[in-house]
Structure 1
Amino acid sequence: MSTLAGRILPHPILTLFLTVVWILLQNDFSAGMAVFGLILGIIIPAVTAAWWPDRPRGIKLGKFILYFFLVVWDIIVANVQVAWIVLTRPNSKLRPCWVVVPLELRTPEAIAILAGTITLTPGTVTADLSSEGHSLLVHALDAESPDEVRDQIKDRYERRLKEIFA
């Protein structure tokens, strides 16, 4: 990418994402809204580029799209599971637990996506990131075993994020 193009579009994926989100938030597609969304998509990343000096390069967009759909599916399934738990199980039968998830991820963007994924999935919430950034503290609403929760997070989400941000 040339220097001029890099300055105009320092985060092309973020530009596209912001443009699409703006159009969706307007709930009305028009050329004017698309152009304004594109303007926002160019200005916001350009203004914030100074705070992204070590942004990841070479993100695998295809794998990221698959990850997105996996997370959406998991959110839908978890909503049904949590609703079932809340409606059918008394509080005394819940098995909440705290889980420490050691991280192999090192890029802040990948860790933030993992923490957000965990929090967006009903029944779990990311409560803390260790000071060195090597583990997440996660609360699960109902789990048979903390190890099972940890292993599922590492296999289902972290492994895929390592491939995306490799």
Structure 2
Amino acid sequence: MTRLLPAPLLSLSLWALWLLLNLSLSAGNLLLGAMLGLLAPIMFAPLRPLPVRIGKPWLAVRLFFLVGRDVLVSNLTVAWGVLRAGQRAPRSVFIKIPLDLHDAHGLAALAMICTVIPGTVWSELALDRSVLLMHVFDLDDEAQFIEHFKGTYERPLMEIFQ
């Protein structure tokens, strides 16, 4: 049954969306929507990500609060840096961070964390997933930043996903 209908909720949603967008309950739209709802999940099943196995859920909750704290602190730091840009220009740099995390789900979570925290931008990931190129808005000590990044985000994500 799962081969014929791999994602029943998705199939039903696609069918309902088709009918809603066409504003018609004609036999043709009912049939086309049903075909879309049945065939799209089958055709796109190979693109679905692998199932996630979370090793330490309590650590994920702790990481969530650490990221929240860092978002608040970074917001204040970036705002202060912008306000005092006339006296001291921010030292924006690209830094290369060596990565030990290679799990696709962990890297996706790390990318989201980098996106959420103001003043940091995930710029590029090496093809072998060993180095992350990141842009930082204002950086005083590169080694300290790398140590904080790896200790606060990468190591917990490794424990959660690997």
**Structure 1 position 104 matched with structure 2 position 119:** no
> What letter corresponds to residue 110 of structure 1 in structure 2?
G
Q: Distance in 2 between matches of 1:153 and 1:49?
A: 35
Match of 1:57 in 2: 53
Match of 1:13 in 2: none
Q: Distance in 1 between matches of 2:117 and 2:132?
A: 15
Report SS of the residue matched to 2:51.
Answer: coil
Match of 2:74 in 1: 78
C-alpha contact (below 8 Å) 1:99/1:147 kept by paired residues:
no
C-alpha contact (below 8 Å) 1:94/1:141 kept by paired residues:
yes
Match of 1:150 in 2: 146
Which of 112, 118, 121 is matched with 1:116 structurally? 112
> What is the number of equivalent residue pairs in this alignment?
127
Q: Distance in 1 between matches of 2:156 and 2:87?
A: 34
Larger radius of gyration: 2
Relative to structure 1, is the Cα distance of residues 61 and 50 closer, same or farther in structure 2, using a 3 angstrom cutoff?
farther
C-alpha contact (below 8 Å) 1:97/1:146 kept by paired residues:
no
TM-score, L = length of structure 2: 0.67
Higher helix share: 1
Give aligned-pair identity as a percent.
34
C-alpha contact (below 8 Å) 1:99/1:149 kept by paired residues:
no
Name the Cα RMSD after superposition: 2.6
C-alpha contact (below 8 Å) 1:82/1:122 kept by paired residues:
yes
C-alpha distance after superposition, 1:12-35 (max 9, x if no partner):
xxxxxxxxxxxxxxxxxxxxxxxx
C-alpha contact (below 8 Å) 1:95/1:141 kept by paired residues:
yes
